[in-house]
Amino acid sequence: MVENTIHATQAVVTLDIALPGIIWGWMITLNMWAKSIGTGVVMVGAYLLYKYKKEEVSSLRWIMPLISFIALNVFLLFTLVDLHQPYRMVNIFLHPHWTSAITVGAWMASLFTLLMTILMVIGAADAFPGLGGKKCKITALARNNSGLYEKLFPFVVFLAIPVTMYTAIIMAESSARELWQAPTEMIQMLLAALMAGSAALILSSGSWDKEVRKDLSLVLMVAVFASFLMYMGEYFFSFKSSEAEATLAYVHAGGEFNVEFWFGMVLGFIVPFFLAASTIKSDNTTLLRFAAILTLVGLYLAKDVWLKIPQMLPLS
């Protein structure tokens, strides 16, 4: 095949250093995955709170901030643990560099977690009158300021969108990895949040009205369908840049990334789509929960492959 440039020149590396392996590994996958849940439940939860009466989604007011709070803390923990100098994280606040999406994201995510903590405490204090006992000052303060929840909520929903998307900008600022283009990654992050958010709420929707579950199935279906299409578009039709092509070769060529990617696609996108579609008429809660769990597993696998393959490419 001498007509192929690389074969025609027969250029082969005969002495070089060992290249770095994967720099951002599973901790960053987990970080992105947990953040999708943490922001997604707020976006999907906001829609439910807007559309339905309080009785129809009785526990949502405290369950939503609780799930978000847990997921955000997992996200923050792994962000911190992945640093080689975790105690210096404080430098992001003492010496912020505003051109960096890491800085802007860390500030927004911290503010978001703080607001979510307030919503969680108020939501839980209102839902459980006995919580904290009579002497607990925090729950008393929360109950006295119950109205703050509704005042803060629109701002929190608004903030959830950039908190979801900023990781896409970090990926875009990672100029060495051409596979990650800002427009695609921003929409993928948003869709991941809708997938993870609806899946997490489905898992806690047992006592809610069946119309609510129908809505959650629809959100899940639309999100997995759109996200799947985007992955397929990139997988099969990324003809534009040589680096993106070379990166995708690590999945196209078979091997562990190929298996992980297709496992993720089938398990987390194709199967949940049909499962969710089938539950819209039947309101089969068990099947829908199964679809939700598969979505969360598949999303992790897809994110993991997309994070790692560009790091396999030799940069110099």
* Residues at the site binding another protein, with contacts judged by CB under 8 A: 5-6, 9-21, 23-24, 81-89, 91-92, 95-97, 99-103, 106, 170, 173-177, 242-243, 246, 311, 313-316
CB of residue 24 to another protein, shortest distance in Å: 6
Q: Give min distance, CB of 275 to another protein, in A.
A: 36
CB of 173: closest distance to another protein in angstroms? 5
Please state, in angstroms and rounded to a whole number, the distance separating the CA atoms of residues 105 and 83.
Answer: 15
Separation between Cα atoms, residue 283 and residue 217, nearest integer Å: 10
Looking at residue 175, its amino acid is: S
36 CB-side CA count, 13 A: 29
Q: Shortest Cβ distance from residue 303 to another protein (Å)?
A: 15
Residue (10 or 207) nearer to another protein, CB = 10
Closest to another protein by CB, 14 or 207: 14
CA atoms of 145 and 127, how far apart (whole Å):
14
Q: Is 295 helix (H, G, I), strand (E, B) or coil?
A: helix
Report in angstroms how near the CB of residue 191 gets to another protein at its nearest: 23
Q: How far is CA 163 from CA 146, 209, 263, 292, 296, in A?
A: 25, 30, 28, 23, 19
Closest to 141 (Cα-Cα) out of 163, 158, 159, 118? 118
Task: Give exposure, 100-138, as e/b (b: 16+ Cβ within 10 Å).
Answer: ebbbbbbebbeebbebbebbbbbbbbbeeeebbeeeeee
Tell me the residue length of the chain.
316
Q: Which residue, 41, 21, 186, 22, is CA-closest to 101?
A: 186
Q: Report the nearest approach of another protein to the CB of residue 22 (Å).
A: 8
DSSP 115-139: HHHHHHHHHHHHH-TTTTTTT-HHH
Nearer to another protein, 242 or 286 (CB): 242
Q: Cβ of residue 187: shortest distance to another protein, in angstroms?
A: 21
Which among 86, 152, 143 has a CA at the least distance from the CA of 119?
152
Quote the least distance from Cβ 261 to another protein, whole Å: 20
The residues near 71 (Cβ < 8 Å, ≥ 6 apart) are 34, 35, 37, 38, 41, 200
